[in-house]
């Protein structure tokens, strides 16, 4: 059985799809995992021999400088990549003498809805994979109602400020934080709104829509969208293995450093692969950590602050003053860090993968969303599951070092919140263990894939 998988070329999309690829490979399903050439080398080199997955790359048609022009990459992925994938499937199938070498199923990131048409053209079964919360698709499904009710205009701009909640256990969303509104670039805003509307229609003809989530995490969303099947959290720890496909080099000494810290003492901070803080906010955060007087492990990517002139500019003397107590790294093995007993809380941008990794380890979160679906995830964490606190206010403006320090103290002093976080961890564990709902859904899905060849 030979399956092709295609992710959107961003870390938060590649990691979970590659996790699924490895699960399928363990069940003797042959995987060809397609990357765009921009990320190919990084994904392959960090995946090593740990994964029995075959990688190929396709061109996205962009010059390297164009990839950093807002909207260009997304446009290329939506328009150029699908044709390349279709050509690749035809080529593989035409050159395969053995039936078992032919691509029999396409598993694609649902954000690239046009790949559904590719599967239809190639006459093979298809699976749309959602690497985010099911609530994101429910929001997409409800766009026509939001327009009808005058909550947004046809460009997606908010016309009302009342919070929207589609079901009692679903996130409470402020229209100004809808996924497309949270990107400040109007070209991308239009792209996202258009894609979400189109993708809803396209993926209706997919054989499966699977989601890296769990029934117990999002009961309301799965009731409103019963066609979405939760199979997560898809985490390396559930396979008792290492995660693969990291775009950045992981710091190798953090785990040893964590070993030397007292249990439940360390503040872990990371804002995923894309979020940035402006210079003033970056400095304020550094001061909050310094004044907080607690050990911390802070991921500061080289591009964590916009601007070319020494983007990682810490306050004067900061690095000397925090020596021994604070550790600053370029990229972590986050899944391992979050499962370390020394970690007390996670200051996060609320990317969906970070969210799943945190709740699966019972780690309370301080939520600082940046864009896209991260506001939806924050509401789940703070309003629905109540395993985290919100940092900053919705009016924007700088979050002061005092507020950062106070919020961390408040989070770490809240025993009831910690208890809820541990309960949620148990729930997540049960859903992926044999007999659990995600486990069963995943097994049904694998059986279906194995039968695609017939
Ligand atoms: C994006 C969006 O932000 C997210 O909301 C969406 O659902 C998926 O795509 P990203 O911003 O990178 O992803 O955040 P996140 O979803 O949290 O994924 C980041 C991944 O990188 C996580 O799996 C995390 O473990 C990993 N990571 C992050 C590391 O391995 N090391 C780090 O230092 C930081």
User: For the CA atoms of the chain, what is the radius of gyration?
Assistant: 22
For residues 210, 420, 243, 37, the Cα torsion angle rounded to the nearest 10 degrees is 60
| pLDDT averaged over every residue in the chain | 93
- Site to substitute for ligand 1 among 77, 304, 351, 359, most atoms within 8 A of C-beta: 351
Ligand 1: which atom is nearest the Cα of residue 136? Answer: 7
> Of all protein residues, whose CA lies closest to atom 23 belonging to ligand 1?
353
Closest CA to 369 of 239, 177, 181: 177
Output the CA–CA distances (angstroms, integers) from residue 313 to 242, 282, 424, in the order listed.
33, 8, 37
Which of 32-36, 69-73, 229-233 is predicted least confidently?
69-73
Rounded CA gap, 413 and 408, in Å?
Answer: 8
pLDDT higher than 80, residue 453 = no
Residue 454 pLDDT more than 80?
A: no
pLDDT in tens, 237-277: 998 888 889 999 999 999 999 999 999 999 999 999 988 88
Ligand 1 atom with least separation from CA of 348: 17
Question: What lines the ligand 1 site, CB under 6 Å?
Answer: 10-13, 15, 131-132, 246, 270, 272-275, 299, 331-332, 334-335, 351-354, 357, 372-374
Nearest to 5 by CA among 136, 119, 132: 119
- pLDDT higher than 80, residue 6: yes
**What pLDDT is recorded for position 68?**
75
pLDDT of res. 309: 63
Task: Supply the pLDDT for residue 337.
Answer: 98
Strand partners, 5: 33, 107
pLDDT tens per residue, range 357-383: 999 999 999 999 998 999 999 999 999
Which of 340, 354, 368, 369 is the pocket-test mutation for ligand 1 (most atoms within 8 Å of CB)?
354
* Model pLDDT for residues 62-97, shown as the tens digit of each residue: 888 887 787 888 889 988 999 999 999 999 999 999
Q: Ligand 1, atom 4: nearest CA belongs to which residue?
A: 351
pLDDT in tens, 304-357: 887 766 667 899 999 999 999 999 999 999 999 999 999 999 999 999 999 999
**14 alpha carbon – ligand 1 mean position (Å):** 10
Q: Phi and psi at residue 311, in whole multiples of 5°?
A: -60, -30
Over range 184-197, report the average pLDDT.
86
Q: C-alpha distances in angstroms, 224 versus 139, 142, 451?
A: 10, 10, 29
**Ligand 1 atom nearest 329 alpha carbon:** 33
Q: Are strands 296-299 and 365-367 parallel, antiparallel or unpaired?
A: unpaired
Q: Please tell me the predicted confidence (pLDDT) of residue 310.
A: 61
Distance from Cα 453 to the centre of ligand 1, integer Å = 34
Q: What is the pLDDT of residue 397?
A: 84
Which atom of ligand 1 lies nearest, measured to the CA of 299? Answer: 33
Which residue, among 35, 1, 41, 36, has the nearest Cα to 18 in the 3D structure?
A: 35
Question: How far is it, in rounded angstroms, from Cα 344 to Cα 262?
Answer: 10
364 C-beta neighbours (distance < 10 Å), count: 23
The answer to whether residue 51 scores a pLDDT higher than 70 is no
Please identify which residue in the block is written with the tokens 């970056």: 282
Cα 392 from Cα 101, distance rounded (Å): 53
pLDDT average, residue stretch 124-139: 97
What's the confidence (pLDDT) of residue 49? 65
Q: Report pLDDT for 314.
A: 92
CA of 272 from ligand 1 middle (Å) equals 4
Half-sphere exposure of 401 (CA within 13 A, CB side): 14
Mean pLDDT of 40-61: 87
Contact 326, 347 (CB under 8 A): no
For residues 29 and 3, the answer to whether their CB atoms sit within 8 Å is yes
The mean per-residue pLDDT over the stretch 151-174 comes to 95
Q: What is the per-residue pLDDT for 304?
A: 82
Q: Binning pLDDT at 50, 70 and 90, where does residue 198 land?
A: confident
Q: Is 248 exposed, middle or buried (0-12, 13-18, 19+ CB in 10 A)?
A: middle
């Amino acid at each position: 059985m030979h399956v092709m998988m295609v992710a959107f070329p961003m870390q938060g999309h590649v990691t979970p799809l590659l996790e699924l690829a490895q699960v399928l490979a363990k069940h003797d399903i042959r995987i060809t995992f397609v990357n765009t050439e921009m990320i190919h080398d990084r994904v392959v080199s960090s995946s090593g021999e740990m994964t029995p997955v075959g990688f190929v790359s396709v061109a996205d048609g962009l010059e390297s400088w164009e990839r950093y022009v807002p909207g260009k990459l997304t446009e290329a992925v939506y328009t150029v990549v699908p044709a390349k994938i279709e050509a690749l499937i035809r080529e593989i199938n035409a050159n395969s003498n053995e039936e078992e070498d032919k691509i029999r199923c396409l598993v694609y990131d649902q954000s690239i809805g046009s790949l559904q048409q590719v599967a239809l053209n190639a006459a093979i079964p298809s699976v749309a994979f959602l690497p985010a919360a099911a609530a994101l698709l429910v929001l997409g499904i409800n766009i026509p109602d939001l327009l009808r009710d005058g909550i947004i205009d046809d460009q997606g701009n908010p016309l009302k400020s009342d919070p929207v909640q589609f079901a009692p256990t679903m996130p409470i969303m402020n229209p100004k934080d809808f996924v497309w509104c949270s990107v400040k670039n109007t070209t991308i805003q239009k792209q996202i709104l258009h894609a979400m509307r189109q993708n809803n229609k396209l993926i209706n003809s997919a054989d499966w829509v699977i989601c890296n989530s769990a029934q117990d995490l999002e009961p309301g969303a799965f009731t409103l969208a019963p066609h979405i099947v939760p199979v997560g959290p898809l985490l390396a720890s559930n396979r008792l293995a290492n995660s693969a496909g990291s775009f950045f080099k992981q710091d190798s000494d953090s785990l040893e450093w964590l070993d030397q810290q007292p249990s439940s003492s360390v503040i872990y901070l990371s804002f995923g692969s894309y979020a940035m803080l402006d210079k003033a906010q970056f400095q304020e955060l550094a001061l909050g950590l310094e004044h907080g007087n607690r050990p911390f492990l802070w991921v500061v990517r080289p591009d964590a602050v916009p601007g070319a002139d020494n983007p990682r500019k810490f306050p004067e003397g900061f690095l000397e003053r925090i020596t021994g107590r604070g550790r600053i790294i370029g990229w972590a093995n986050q899944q391992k860090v979050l499962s370390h007993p020394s970690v007390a809380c996670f200051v996060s941008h609320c990317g969906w993968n970070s969210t799943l990794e945190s709740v699966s380890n019972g780690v309370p979160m301080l939520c600082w969303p940046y864009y896209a679906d991260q506001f939806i995830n924050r509401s789940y964490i703070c309003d629905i599951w109540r395993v985290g606190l919100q940092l900053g206010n919705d009016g924007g403006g700088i979050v002061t070092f005092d507020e950062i320090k106070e919020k961390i103290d408040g989070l770490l002093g809240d025993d009831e919140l910690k208890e809820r976080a541990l309960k949620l961890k148990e729930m997540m564990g049960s859903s992926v263990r044999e007999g659990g709902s995600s486990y069963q859904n995943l097994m049904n899905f694998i059986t279906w894939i194995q039968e695609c060849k017939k």
